[in-house]
């Protein structure tokens, strides 16, 4: 196997070799799981490990896919999903809580409404004797590195016969300012050749400067528009996101007309026949359910890919390859 990984906090730790290896490990794990014998060998792979799922921000897919990825690998799980049932209500500090989890488990998978806490937990781990890996499963509006991994896997496999992600034009639409999934995915684009990004959003929700600076530094081409119809015919993938209204300070998303940033039968008629539509889910009104039956709608497959990519990630963190 190539380089090792420990904490997964910033998507920029992933280079092309690691991404290719994770995609391959994902394929091999899901193939293995198709036979009883293979599924049993996967369940033995990390049967001596325990995981803590510490999710103090709402989650359906990320929680369930990590939980089930753990179970596929025989990892036993503990969870706290509600901070009011942890000793933090008695005044225990965040650091002491994380250190306590690390006393009992071998990996901590965490999602918080605040940015920066997974990084803080990783720094803490690096300073104590019983150091366990921290996986960032969503840090406020900032980053969501494991979602970016499953998005890369979905893109690579969707373009399998067409040279993968290299050379593709990828549109990202919606609340790009506060959507952590697109922010993390942008960070991974440095690993692919000749990718063109097209940001489609209302001006008030445009991609932030920090990400644009990174893209410029790595010479990744991006353009910005408010008009989907102008660009949709050039796209290989359209990655749609919802308005992240939970971060509103001033009803800002309510005051914007979002009807121009939706996908329905009209938009599908303009999208190339071999392009795909992705969405991290949950969706709001931005994708008409009528699109679900179009073979270019990739979001349900993308959601399922998430579990298998997380299987591969856990195997990689613990340095186990079930096929060998």
Annotated catalytic residue: which of 144, 168, 178, 279? 144
62 near ligand NCD, rule: CB under 6 A: yes
Task: Mark whether 90 is an active-site residue.
Answer: yes
- Its sign, for the CA torsion 306, 308, 309, 314, is positive
- C-alpha to C-alpha distance for 89 and 251, rounded to whole angstroms: 30
64 near ligand NCD, rule: CB under 6 A: no
CB 26 within 8 A of CB 19: no
Task: Mark whether 144 is an active-site residue.
Answer: yes
Task: Mark whether 56 is an active-site residue.
Answer: no
- Structure token pair of residue 285: 């009104």
Using DSSP's 3-state secondary structure scheme, residue 28 falls into: helix
- Residue 30 CB, shortest distance to ligand NCD, in Å, is 19
- Structure token pair of residue 251: 């009803």
Q: Which 124-143 residues touch ligand NCD, going by CB under 6 A?
A: 138
- Residue 306 CB, shortest distance to ligand NCD, in Å, is 7
20 or 114: CB nearest ligand NCD: 114
Element (H, E) at 276: strand 276-278
- C-alpha to C-alpha distance for 2 and 97, rounded to whole angstroms: 33
119 or 281: CB nearest ligand NCD: 281
- Residue 195 CB, shortest distance to ligand NCD, in Å, is 22
- Structure token pair of residue 74: 């025989």
180 near ligand NCD, rule: CB under 6 A: yes
Using DSSP's 3-state secondary structure scheme, residue 244 falls into: coil
Residue 33's closest CA among 318, 317, 307, 302? Answer: 307
- C-alpha to C-alpha distance for 176 and 66, rounded to whole angstroms: 25
Among 77, 158, 181, 191, binds ligand NCD (CB under 6 A): 181
32 or 176: CB nearest ligand NCD: 176
Residue nearest to ligand NCD according to CB distances in the complex:
280
CB 18 within 8 A of CB 5: yes
Annotated catalytic residue: which of 7, 28, 49, 111? 111
- C-alpha to C-alpha distance for 139 and 57, rounded to whole angstroms: 9
174 near ligand NCD, rule: CB under 6 A: no
145 or 280: CB nearest ligand NCD: 280
242 near ligand NCD, rule: CB under 6 A: yes
Q: How many binding residues for ligand NCD (CB under 6 A)?
A: 11
- Residue 123 CB, shortest distance to ligand NCD, in Å, is 23
Task: Mark whether 111 is an active-site residue.
Answer: yes
- Residue 100 CB, shortest distance to ligand NCD, in Å, is 25
7 or 310: CB nearest ligand NCD: 310
177 or 242: CB nearest ligand NCD: 242
CA distances from 153 to 27, 44, 70, 306 (A): 10, 25, 19, 9
- Residue 132 CB, shortest distance to ligand NCD, in Å, is 23
30 or 283: CB nearest ligand NCD: 283
In the sheet that holds 169-173, the strands lie side by side as 221-225, 196-200, 169-173, 237-240, 276-278
Measure the CA angle with vertex 127, ends 126 and 129; round to 5°. Answer: 90
Task: Mark whether 61 is an active-site residue.
Answer: yes
Annotated catalytic residue: which of 7, 49, 56, 62? 62
Residues with a catalytic annotation lie at: 61-62, 90, 111, 144
Q: Enumerate binding residues for ligand NCD (CB under 6 A).
A: 61-62, 138, 144, 147, 180-181, 241-242, 280-281
């Amino acid at each position: 196997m190539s380089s090792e990984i420990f904490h997964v906090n910033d998507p920029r730790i992933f280079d092309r070799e690691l991404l290719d290896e994770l995609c391959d490990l994902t394929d091999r794990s899901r193939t293995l799981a198709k036979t009883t014998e293979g599924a049993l060998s996967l369940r033995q792979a990390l049967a001596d490990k325990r995981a803590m799922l510490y999710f103090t921000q709402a989650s359906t897919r990320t929680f369930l896919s990590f939980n089930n990825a753990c179970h596929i690998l025989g990892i036993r799980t503990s969870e706290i999903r509600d901070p009011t049932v942890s000793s933090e209500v008695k005044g225990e500090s965040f650091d002491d809580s994380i250190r306590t989890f690390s006393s009992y488990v071998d990996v901590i998978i965490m999602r918080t409404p605040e940015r920066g806490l997974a990084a803080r937990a990783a720094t803490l781990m690096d300073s104590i004797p019983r150091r366990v890996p921290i996986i960032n499963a969503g840090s406020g509006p900032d980053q969501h590195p494991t979602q970016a991994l499953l998005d890369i896997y979905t893109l690579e496999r969707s373009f399998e016969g067409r040279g993968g992600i290299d050379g593709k034009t990828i549109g990202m639409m919606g609340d790009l300012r506060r959507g952590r999934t697109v922010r993390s995915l942008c960070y991974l684009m440095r690993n692919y050749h000749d990718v063109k990004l097209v940001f489609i959003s209302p001006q008030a929700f445009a991609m932030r400067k920090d990400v644009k600076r990174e893209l410029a530094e790595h010479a990744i081409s991006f353009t910005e528009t408010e008009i989907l119809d102008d660009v949709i015919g050039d796209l290989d993938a359209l990655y749609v996101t919802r308005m992240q209204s939970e971060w509103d300070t001033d009803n800002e998303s309510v005051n914007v007309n979002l009807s121009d940033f939706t996908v329905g039968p009209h938009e599908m008629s303009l999208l190339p026949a071999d392009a795909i539509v992705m969405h991290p889910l949950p969706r709001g009104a931005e994708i008409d359910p009528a699109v679900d039956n179009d073979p270019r709608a990739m979001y349900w497959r993308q959601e399922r890919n998430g579990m298998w990519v997380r299987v591969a990630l856990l195997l990689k963190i613990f340095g186990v390859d079930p096929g060998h």
